[in-house]
Amino acid sequence: MAIYDEPMDYLQLIDGELRPSRNGQWIDSVNPATGQVWARIPAGGAEDIDDAIRAAKSALDSWRALPAASRAALLRSWAATVRENLDTLWRLDATDNGRARREAEPAIAGAASQIEFHAGLAETITGDTVLVSDSATTYSVREPFGVVGLIIPWNAPLAMFLAKVSAAIAAGNTIVVKPPERASVSVLVAAQLLEKAGIPRGVVNVVTGEGSSAGEALVRHPDVRKISFTGSTATGRRITENSVANIKSLALELGGKSPNIVFADADLDQAADVVAAGIYTASAGQACIAGSRILVEEAIFVDFVERLRSRASAMVLGNPLDSRTDMGPLAFDGQYDKVREYLESGRQEGATLAFGGRCGSELFTPESPLREGYFVEPTLFLTEDPQLRVCQEEIFGPVAVAMPFADEADAVRLANDSGYGLAAGVWTQNLSRALRLTRRLEAGTVWVNTYRRLHWALPFGGQKESGTGTSNGPTTLDEWLEHKSVWIEHG
């Protein structure tokens, strides 16, 4: 099942060296498809973070002084090594967090292309000449922050690492990365490819460990000028509090509870395929942009729920490494417990269970090694009460809730009735209505007649409590650059 028979130890990358943690402690990585320990990662802490920041500081001057074309060439070479090792990398990622091959492999291949996109942008960093006085030459330049910190979650650790690190270093920063304690292995292995690509030591450092130790030490460190964080809204709040002491710049990509709105005039077969995929096969619902609230026009509510049921019942739960698998397990035991708690909460609050709800050993034969895995089948609750916990809180699992709406105004009201504002989907053949909704929905991304389509050339970010800052898009390096104005008085 696992790709290695005996659990292997993986090491942190600090100043170009592979190192265990200073305290000598380890964290077990469990394969969520089997519940078995398959690897160990260092339980890094504040001392390792200090070492990594020191290395990033020493590497900074020469890295930012490199001509942009040289930085770009090194990034392209990194992308090439990622592609050469794609097969190993997606397997490590999928073994660690249970993401099915269908998702894990293209995500990492896409991230290699994103590194190349950022390489191109490195050569386009410009400033502005703004002549404010006849006696002076005045202009602005954009400069890297310096040493920056990156904290990432477990649902797509490697793709996020590749995408964000490449943007940060393309802009001339050096970086310390704290990957997720539940799924760090693929990041540690990909970090080793930096040296092969010729990226100098200390430019990228990776310290593994718990958020409460290594993560907090990175956020509180006075020499870190910016933190880019992707994770839950609760941790985003904590990071905001901890970064106040040194007024750090923050970019926060947080949670979501995204509505997928289906009108009666939509192509219902296509909508059912994509709406079901958007919450179930999409990393078993462990995606920030999962379409977890399905809003359906009253006239087709019963019919559409039946269409979703038929899609869900055809989905194959299984070994994430198998290309026939549609849905892997949840990423770790704590997430499994959390999702099961929401299954209970939905029932207790009075939502109707339309389908699903079974977990773990209920889903596999007695002989199957997957019985001990953290599997939850595609589940749908129905309710008319948008205030239930299952309608308001991010579950981060294959559990959706469907609610009926009366008309367009009602759909917008229900869709926006959330603290989150990450994404939304609209299904209709009425172009005027679709365009009106793209303006009224409170979301960083709105899809019409499709869902969960991202591209590195299109900006991505959250509104409301889904975060601040924008990644991707032609201006993505702006996240990693500061403005400086220069005023030369010459008379």
Residues lying near ligand NAD in the complex (CB under 6 A): 151-155, 178, 180-181, 211-212, 215-216, 219, 230-232, 235, 238-239, 253-256, 288, 394, 396, 422, 462, 466-467
Cβ–Cβ under 8 Å, residues 223 and 98? no
Pick the catalytic residue: 105, 181, 216, 253?
253
Q: Which residues pair with 425 in a beta bridge?
A: 260, 447
Task: Give the integer Cα–Cα distance in Å for 68 and 66.
Answer: 6
Residue 459 CB, nearest distance to ligand NAD (Å)?
12
C-beta of 174 vs 233, nearer to ligand NAD:
233
Question: Looking at 307-443, which runs of residues are DSSP E strands?
Answer: 352-355, 379-382, 399-405, 420-421, 423-427
C-beta of 256 vs 404, nearer to ligand NAD:
256
Question: Looking at 164-264, which runs of residues are DSSP E strands?
Answer: 174-178, 204-206, 226-230, 249-253, 259-262
The single-letter code of the amino acid at 387 is: Q
Q: Which H/E stretch holds residue 138?
A: strand 136-144
Task: Give the integer Cα–Cα distance in Å for 239 and 212.
Answer: 10
Q: Which residue's Cβ lies closest to ligand NAD? A: 211
Three-state secondary-structure class, residue 483: strand
In 3D space, the residue among 191, 197, 176, 158 whose CA is nearest the CA of residue 60 turns out to be 176
Residue 236 CB, nearest distance to ligand NAD (Å)?
7
C-beta of 178 vs 340, nearer to ligand NAD:
178
Residue 490 CB, nearest distance to ligand NAD (Å)?
47
Task: Give the integer Cα–Cα distance in Å for 266 and 195.
Answer: 51
C-beta of 231 vs 356, nearer to ligand NAD:
231
Residue 428 CB, nearest distance to ligand NAD (Å)?
26
Cβ–Cβ under 8 Å, residues 294 and 357? no
Task: Give the integer Cα–Cα distance in Å for 80 and 272.
Answer: 38
Query: Quick one: 279 exposed, middle or buried, by C-beta within 10 A (0-12, 13-18, 19+)?
Result: buried
Cβ–Cβ under 8 Å, residues 347 and 276? no
Cβ within 8 Å of residue 376, ≥6 positions away: 284, 329, 330, 336, 339, 340, 343, 356, 358, 359, 360, 397, 398, 399
- DSSP class of 264: T
Residue 173 CB, nearest distance to ligand NAD (Å)?
19
Beta strand 481-489 pairing with 136-144: antiparallel
- DSSP class of 314: T
Residue whose token pair is 């939850």? 376
Counted residue by residue, the chain has a size of: 491
Alpha helices for 384-491 (secondary structure H): 389-392, 408-416, 431-440
* 253 assigned to active site: yes
C-beta of 180 vs 356, nearer to ligand NAD:
180
Residue whose token pair is 């077990």? 28
Residue 434 CB, nearest distance to ligand NAD (Å)?
24
Residue 338 CB, nearest distance to ligand NAD (Å)?
9
C-beta of 125 vs 390, nearer to ligand NAD:
390
Q: Which residues pair with 488 in a beta bridge?
A: 137
C-beta of 377 vs 394, nearer to ligand NAD:
394
Provide the token pair at 252: 């926060």
Residue 202 CB, nearest distance to ligand NAD (Å)?
22
C-beta of 203 vs 288, nearer to ligand NAD:
288
Task: Give the integer Cα–Cα distance in Å for 431 and 411.
Answer: 16
C-beta of 77 vs 228, nearer to ligand NAD:
228
Residue 101 CB, nearest distance to ligand NAD (Å)?
19
- Active-site annotation, residues: 253
